[in-house]
Amino acid sequence: MYLLTVLGNLLIILATVSDPRLHTPMYFFLSNLSFVDVCFTSTTVPKMLLNIQTHSQGISYVGCIVQIYFFTLFVGLDDFLLVVMAYDRFVAICHPLHYTVIMSPQFCVWLVLGSWLTSALNALLQSFMVQQLSFCKALEIPHFFCEPNHLVHLACSDTSLNNIVLYCVAGLLGGGSLAGVLYSYYKIVSSIRAMSSAQGKYKAFSTCVSHLSMVSLFYCTLLGVYFTSVVTQNPHSSATASVMYSVVTPMLNPFIYSLRNKDLQRALAMFLQKETRQMLIVLGLRKGI
C-alpha cells in the first residue's frame, strides 16, 4: 500500500509537470496535494514497517515530537488544499468568465503558500503543547504512531489547556475548512441546477466528482477518529480510522482522480510512452556498445 501510494502520487506529479496542457490551477493544486500525500503517509508508515520488521514498537521522545510536527503539518495541508481545490471548482463553475482573472498563477501560488504557513504554525503549536506534558515512565501508546489526541489522554500532568487548544484548533481550522468546502459545493450545486442544458449540467458536475470523492473519504475518516476517541474511548476503533485517512486515502487519491479524468489519463499515457521509448533507446545503445 505504501509503494502504491508513493508511485501513484509521483506519477500524478510527473504527468502534470510534463504535459503543458495540464498547467492549469486545478492540476497545480492536484500536484501539490499528491506531493503532500506522499509526505503525509511517509511520516508514519516507514516507522510502522520498521517496527514490524524489528518486532519493536518503541520510539524515542524526540522522534515522537518530530513525528507529531510533520503529521500535523501534512494533515493540515491536506485539509487546506482540499478547500483550495473546492474554491477552484466554485470559481470555474459559478464565475467561468472571470476564472482566468481570479485564479491567476500568482494567486494560486499565494493560496498554496498560505496553506503551508498556516499548517506549519499549527504544527509548531501542537508539538509545543505536547512538550509541556509530563508522562509516566512505562508509557505505551495504543496506536501505530504518536497521535496528539492519544498522547493528551495518556499524560500524567494536567491536560486541560492541551484539550482546549486541541479542540479549538480542530474547530477553527478543521471546522472552518469543512464549512468552506460545504459552502463552495452549495454554490456549485445551485449554479448547476440553474443551467438549462442537461449536457452542461453533466459536464459541470463531472469536474467535481473526483474532488468530492476525495473530500468525503478524507473528512469522514478524519472525523471518525475524533468521534471514536471522544465517544467510545476505543483505541482499536480510533487506530482503524487513522489507518483509513493516513494510509488508505493517500493511496486512493491517484486512482480516484485518474480513473475519471481523461486529460490526466492521456498525460500519464504520454509520459509512460516517452519514458519507455527513452529506456529502449538507452538499452539499444548499450547493446550496440
Q: What pLDDT sits at residue 58?
A: 78
pLDDT value of residue 231 = 59
The three three-digit cell numbers of residue 61, written as one number? 521522545
Task: Please report the pLDDT score of residue 283 as a whole number.
Answer: 67
Q: Which domains does the chain have, with CATH numbers?
A: 2-288 (1.20.1070.10)
**Tens-place pLDDT, residues 166-224:** 878 878 888 888 889 889 888 888 888 887 777 777 777 777 777 788 888 778 777 76
* All residues at 6 or more sequence positions from 38 whose CB lies less than 8 Å from its CB, including other chains: 5, 6, 9, 10, 250
Predicted confidence at residue 288, as pLDDT, reads: 61
- Distance (Å, whole) CA 174 – CA 170: 5
Whole-model pTM over 0.85: no
The HSE-up count of residue 53 (CA atoms within 13 Å, CB side) is 6
Is residue 275 within 8 A of residue 14, CB to CB? The reply is no
| pLDDT tens digit sequence for 22-33 | 888 988 998 999
Kindly give, in sequence order, each residue whose CB lies less than 8 Å from that of residue 150, ignoring residues fewer than 6 positions away: 141, 142, 143, 229, 235, 238
**One-letter identity of residue 190:** S
Burial class (CB in 10 A: 0-12, 13-18, 19+), 117: exposed
The low-confidence residues of the chain, meaning pLDDT below 50, are none
